[in-house]
Structure 1
């Protein structure tokens, strides 16, 4: 079976919802447009305005598992975001608009544990998503590996736990773990596989309920001796990636 793209996902507001796409246009040296375009800085954040900042400065699912159940819809033309959560009414707001910040904070604070640093503002950098890597990256997972991990745990794991951009079907379980340093053509784009993605507590939360219900990290350590699941990649050659496009390693 030839590996192919089974899903394309972006996360406009880092750790606060995902959105399925039919196609993406990748640009050399950049991540997916609007992916992690904004991030929610908490009260203990140390951020330099205009610069990328690491994930510990932001509210995220590892500290607030309820955030994992958020869905997002982005109106690109208006830079307007709609967030949905099973425990909250839908919220439509503009992350760049100072007058909308209060409404967003009122909406999200009930999803944040009281004993954790609280969200206070939204951070963004023009042209640079707040990826977990200090370089613009695209994240990739294998659905076969997701199923294998679920079988080890004895549960049906949703791939949404991994917050990846590109889901591939048609690989052997764990085949992608040998791809670091290789180049991968997906659609008309070419990506360099840079490193594995080390996982955190966010993946233990169910993306439907926002409650921790599966010890994914313990399972990964038992199977592989690490907490790696999925890959980070750089875009070497821009192009279009659509659902159903093939994926192959290239010289």
Structure 2
């Protein structure tokens, strides 16, 4: 079947709620992207995990940059700061000073911890699906509905952004539930739409706080943008890889 689009952006999120890491290629297993959502950020006072969608005290968290080094160890950088190894006391001090309260980056389970780490762990809040896919066609539809807003992919935290022609009056991937896609070597089943929360309105570097983003998704696409996918065949995905439908 002919390609309907090609991969424009690839993202993983080494630490939940913190900024993502843009990549040229990703390795996708049955359950996750390699290096995705290995760490969480907690309030030390009560071990509450960061919830930017629900509590304003976390609204600056998406501005904290993340990356994994060649040894798959986490590094973070607060705005205006240098890269720091995480988890650890120095990075926790920097994050706490930035947020204005005591906070700590902790692994989701001992298997995600660096070899020398012996500190506390935290539990992942939830893991909806291995892959979150978003098309530029849906971003274009949102922009058409909300011309003054920034329909930036970073608002929505996708793993794969597919470039495809706009579909007039449609958020196209929302209509693909149950269909199978091949992207490079990877084969996915689109399992459900991605229901959006207050995270989408929060300001990040390059765009402002904007409640109109979520209002338009609620009004015109039943709260949704993008889709969650399960993995039928693991594989590597590179920028530029074609996407096509495959038979069930």
Which residue of the partner structure matches residue 133 of structure 2?
A: 140
Root-mean-square deviation (Å): 2.5
Q: Cα deviation per residue 1:214-248 (whole Å; 9 max; x = unaligned)?
A: 42221111212x21111111111011111011111
| Map 1:1-251 → 2, pairs under 5 A | 2-27=4-29, 29-42=30-43, 43-45=45-47, 57-62=48-53, 63=55, 64-77=58-71, 79-85=73-79, 88-95=80-87, 100=88, 102-112=89-99, 119-125=103-109, 126=111, 130=124, 132-134=126-128, 136-154=129-147, 155-171=149-165, 172=167, 173-208=170-205, 211-224=208-221, 226-251=222-247
Where does residue 54 of structure 1 map in the other structure?
none
Q: What SS does the aligned partner of 2:22 have?
A: strand
Displacement of 1:108 after TM fit?
A: 2.0
Q: Aligned equivalents of 2:72 and 2:33: distance in 1?
A: 18
SS of the residue 2:82 aligns to: strand
Residue aligning to 1:53: none
Contact 1:25/1:241 (CA < 8 Å) preserved in 2? Answer: yes
Between the aligned partners of 1:131 and 1:166, the Cα distance in structure 2 is 22
Q: Which residue of 1 aligns with 2:119?
A: none
- 239-248 or 141-150, larger mean C-alpha shift: 141-150
Query: Would you say how many aligned residue pairs link Structure 1 and Structure 2?
Result: 226
Which 5+ residue runs of structure 1 have no aligned equivalent?
A: 46-56
Q: Aligned to 1:32, what secondary structure does the other structure show? A: coil
| Structure 1 residue 106: Cα displacement | 2.2
1:34-91, CA deviations, whole angstroms, 9 ceiling, x for partnerless residues? 111111133444xxxxxxxxxxx52133232222223222204161413242xx4234
**Deviation at 1:147?**
2.2
CA pair 156-121 structure 1, distance change in 2 beyond 3 A: closer
Taking a change above 3 Å as real, the CA distance of residues 76 and 132 of structure 1, as seen in their structure-2 partners, is: farther
* Pair 94,2 (structure 1): closer, same or farther in 2 beyond 3 Å: same
